[in-house]
Amino acid sequence: LHTEMFIHYRDFVKLFVPSILYTVQNSLQYFSMQCLSAPVFQVLYQMKIITTAMFSVLLLAKRLSSVQWGSIVALTLGVACVQLSQVSNSSENKSNSFAGFVSVILGCMTSGFAGVYFEMVLKSTSASVWLRNIQLSLIGIAMSLVSTLSLYLTILSNVAFRSLATS
């Protein structure tokens, strides 16, 4: 692990991209779940398959068969039908539904790109998948700690400001 992280550090640095994207994706998932019902979220999140396929074609030059493209189109139509069925007359529901939908789209895109990019990194190095997953998780843990600490400090400063304002 030491050799791969410090001597072959360039491959380790490449893992910052998917790790950061997966951290962003997790935050987007939590936001989406606040805005959408669980079944709608689950159906919409299947768009991850679509974005992963598109990034695989673009970045890895993979070729998809006509049956695979047909399946992707069918999945896209299904997702569109679910999203359209959520349209209601209430403006509050529309804004929450729209914000949740945008959050799901961004989450799917970050997930699809991160997965394909990680595959590119794996194919370009001789290190094992296990080692790369450990490195990816170490970066993810560090990113999540920074995010949590930032949120904690923001909350702490708000509490301190309120206590000063009331005294």
pLDDT surpassing 80 at residue 49 = yes
Alpha helices in 36-65 (DSSP H): 38-44, 47-60
Q: Give the sign of the dihedral formed by CA 82, CA 84, CA 90, CA 91.
A: positive
- The residue that leads in pLDDT, 167 or 114, is 114
Q: Is 49 exposed, middle or buried (0-12, 13-18, 19+ CB in 10 A)?
A: middle
Q: Give the sign of the dihedral formed by CA 30, CA 33, CA 39, CA 45.
A: negative
| Range with lowest mean pLDDT among 2-6, 73-77, 91-95 | 91-95
Per-residue pLDDT tens for 91-130?
Answer: 445 457 889 999 999 999 999 999 999 999 999 888 888 8
pLDDT surpassing 50 at residue 43 = yes
Average pLDDT, the chain: 85
